[in-house]
Amino acid sequence: MLHVDMDAFYASVEVRRRPELRGKPVIVGGAGPRGVVSAASYEARKYGVRSAMPGSRAQRLCPHAVFLPPDFAAYTEASRAVMAIFRDVTPLVEPLSLDEAFLDVAGARRLLGRPAEIAALIRRRVAGEQRLTCSVGVAGTKFLAKLGSTRAKPDGMAVIPRERELEYLHPLPVEALWGVGERTAESLQRLGLKTIGDLAAAPVGMLRSAVGDAAAHHLHELSLARDPRRVIPDHVEKSIGAETTFDVDVSDLSTIRRAMLALSDKVARRLRHAGQAGRTVSVKIRLADFQTLSRSRTVDVPTDVSREIFELAWALFQSGRPGERIRLVGVRVEGLVHADGTPRQMTLGERDHGWRDAERAADAVAARFGAGLVKPASLLRGDGMRTDGNGAAPAGEGAGKSRTRHNGRT
């Protein structure tokens, strides 16, 4: 389990686009009598400035701070980019807010290594691709992972091995437990319970007298490093797809084919990351007049292989090839099932280790170094290649400019 928490997120996004503010105390929020601090850089926190503090008090504590109005559109955009990095590593991402999330990386270990290595990889990618820093806690439970990220701040990482959980946990003050605020801490301390170790050793009946039945059980379990909660992704996949809107309406088959190949590859990668495969491939075609056409085909054996998805998608497009200019194309896979245990239908002459193994190897490279680094070979070719005898270009010919909009979860 990983808990990734961005460091002073709002303030860091502001500093990223205003490099001259680096190293200065930055406060996001209003300085007026009714203003509230939304975020503060670590330089401002040294003066005692905290989130949710009245802006007037923050200004008194740090009169030379730079106050900036919140720009939630910018923070949302940055959050999406960061969460996309997380989902490159594992589909099991549970966002808690714009700037933090739990990740279950158990399924990524075979490709990416130990959880600590995966955490270090995420930190490198966030810093390299987004010019932001994050702190990561690595542990066997949500509670300990979040505790680790909090204690690793800023820009750090804490790894809590299972065999050392209690050694790490028990010396900490009771306030470190989830759900222990100021009043609860006072109640526990009146019973002589100052550390988590003290609480773990106390009879549950003693705890009930101080905090009630439900809280007593909750805190006692946490004090023993027991937390059964699993990562719950923020959505349930019913289908996975992607679509591209061309900058200008197109009719050139090589441009369309190239775009559909890229879309098929993107959909297949997302299927594999989610541990899913699908039996139904559908294509979406929007014409220049905004008329939208759709076609689908269901096969016997589920697939998560780019080549198979593309061949089905291109055949669907060709089957009713519109003679008009096209504004948008999309590829989607539906009828999802768990990929593990899904039978593979071998074609005559196919090797035991073929396209799926090659694509899984490419997934590992993409997760480690960025998805943009790995593309189907045909997407790396240039323009100017001739079409085949049926008037269609070989896969990947024609470099059509497009902008891709992810529309993959319904």
Nearest to 244 by CA among 400, 408, 404: 404
- Is residue 310 a contact partner of residue 258, using CB atoms and an 8 Å limit? no
Phi and psi, residue 402, nearest 5°: -150, 160
Residue 276, judged by CB atoms within 10 A of its CB (0-12, 13-18, 19+), counts as buried
Q: Based on the residue annotation, tell me whether 100 is a catalytic residue of this protein.
A: yes
- Is residue 177 a contact partner of residue 215, using CB atoms and an 8 Å limit? no
CA distance 93 to 119: 13
For the record, the structure tokens of 277 come out as: 């495969």
Residue 290 is classified by DSSP as S
Sheet holding 326-338, edge to edge: 292-303, 276-287, 326-338, 240-250, 402-405
Residue 165 is classified by DSSP as H
- Is residue 101 a contact partner of residue 44, using CB atoms and an 8 Å limit? no
- Active-site residue, selected from the candidate residues 100, 243, 308, 397: 100
Helix axes 306-319, 253-273, angle to 10 degrees: 140
One-letter identity of residue 351: R
- Does 213 count as an annotated binding residue? no
- Does 357 count as an annotated binding residue? no
Report angle CA 390, 396, 397 to the nearest 5 degrees: 65
HEC string for 232-253: CCCCCCCCEEEEEEEEEEECCH
Residues designated as active site: 100
* Residues tagged in the binding site annotation: 5, 99
* Residues tagged in the binding site annotation for Mg(2+): 5, 99
